[in-house]
Amino acid sequence: MIDQSQLLWFGMGIGFTLIVRSLIWLYWRYWGAGSLRDYIFEEEEPAGDYRVIKKIKTLVHKVALVEQDGQFHVFANGSEMFSTTEDENKYAEALVHVPMAVAQKRQRILIIGGGGGITTREALLYPEVNEITAVDIDSTIMDLGKNLEALVKFNKGSLNHPKVRTVIQDGRAFVENSSEKWDVIIQDLPEPASECPDLSRLFSVEFYKILQQHLEPGGVITVSCPYVSTMPEYFGAVQATLEAAGFYVLPYHFDFIVEFGSDWGFCMAATRPISSSDVQLKLPTRYLNQRRLKDMFSIPYYLSVEWDERYIQTDQNKLLLKIVEEAWGK
């Protein structure tokens, strides 16, 4: 017959085993090999409950596919790359429709970092577009954009459209080995980070000079500058680098300070002087209007920095990477 002391020890043993297993699971998930933190940074983690559908380690990224409240989020190397939320629609409109409004032609478009297909979806709205080349270094990201049902529905099948050519290659290598020219070049890339330091080469003065050679007369380039409210120096450095490459630069932003405490920055560049008065939208959009555009080209004080034009990103230095590391404490 089992006495009470035996039952107590038995119960304590089960409890200890459960605690150890829980600690092992927590360690594996957040700190150990295969840690979720390698795939989703704590500061980027969705608020509230979410479900990690899949984690994929590719040659380039650690990719996590996350579902929350029916919306899908794709993370790469800890940071969110894109999602099926309305925020993504606002970002895509700001990134695509502003340069499309300024470019003198809109027949041939290059999107560097186009794996999600969302910017491609927006560019396809223009009937005069004949060809869009969407380049992404990671075949897994492009595969999600082409085949993940929720994402295909969100991007309206853009990456499978007959006008769209998809290329799996480093964006710089693709341009360097191409003889083509484009009317609009959209650079939709995350900021350089310690997880992917080679990204700096796609923000360098040397690369921007190469892009200039591949721009049709009257063409426009736009470079995304994420999280500029956290690191306005990044905004200043990208502007200075584009100017050093010989471009006229018109910076703008999309204000999410009120809703989310963040702001998105963009640098539009051309080989001719451009101003906000040149931005006349060619088609209706959901989130852009003349009032919003006026605000977008009025750079607020918190984004304005006194930037020495000599400090630019080159193929040899780590300027943007240092700015990112200092801003995020990494």
What are the sequence ranges of the domains in the chain?
A: 34-81, 86-328
Task: Write out the DSSP string of 70-81.
Answer: TEEEEEETBEEE
Give the integer Cα–Cα distance in Å for 90 and 83: 12
**Which is nearest to 121 in space by CA: 88, 91, 97, 155?**
155
Looking at the DSSP bridge assignments, the partners of residue 209 are none
The CA-to-CA distance between both ends of the chain, in Å, stands at 60
Residues 6+ apart with CB under 8 A from 72: 65, 66, 83, 84, 148, 150, 151, 154
- How far from chain centre, in Å, is Cα 223? 10
Residue with tokens 């360098």: 204
What pLDDT does residue 128 have? 98
Residues 6+ apart with CB under 8 A from 90: 254, 256, 287
Give the integer Cα–Cα distance in Å for 29 and 161: 39
What pLDDT does residue 78 have? 78
Long-range contacts of 270-273 (CB under 8 A, 24+ apart): 270/102, 270/218, 270/219, 270/220, 270/221, 271/212, 271/215, 271/217, 271/219, 271/246, 271/247, 272/218, 272/248, 273/248
Dig out the tokens for 47 from the structure: 């608020």
In contact, 115 and 155? CB cutoff 8 Å: no
**Which is nearest to 88 in space by CA: 324, 269, 264, 281?**
264
What pLDDT does residue 173 have? 97
In contact, 144 and 65? CB cutoff 8 Å: yes
Q: How many CB atoms lie within 10 A of CB 330?
A: 12
What pLDDT does residue 23 have? 38
What pLDDT does residue 92 have? 95
Give the integer Cα–Cα distance in Å for 5 and 11: 10
Give the integer Cα–Cα distance in Å for 251 and 253: 7
Residue type, 316: Q
Length, in residues, of the chain: 330
The helix/strand/coil state of 292 is: helix
- Per-residue pLDDT tens digits of the chain, which is 330 residues long: 555 555 555 555 555 544 544 433 344 444 444 567 778 877 778 778 889 988 989 888 888 999 999 999 998 887 888 899 998 999 999 999 999 999 999 999 999 998 899 999 999 999 999 999 999 999 999 999 999 999 999 999 999 999 999 999 999 999 999 999 999 999 999 888 877 788 999 999 999 999 999 999 999 999 999 878 888 999 999 999 999 999 999 999 987 645 555 788 999 999 999 999 999 999 999 999 888 999 999 988 888 888 888 899 999 999 999 999 998 775
Residues 6+ apart with CB under 8 A from 82: 73, 74, 88, 116, 118
CATH 1.20.1200.10 holds for 86-328:
no
Alpha-carbon distances, residue 86 vs 71, 73, 90, 118 (angstroms): 10, 12, 6, 11
Alpha-carbon distances, residue 155 vs 2, 9, 164, 283 (angstroms): 65, 58, 13, 18
Catalytic member of 87, 170, 188, 263: 188
Catalytic: 188? Answer: yes
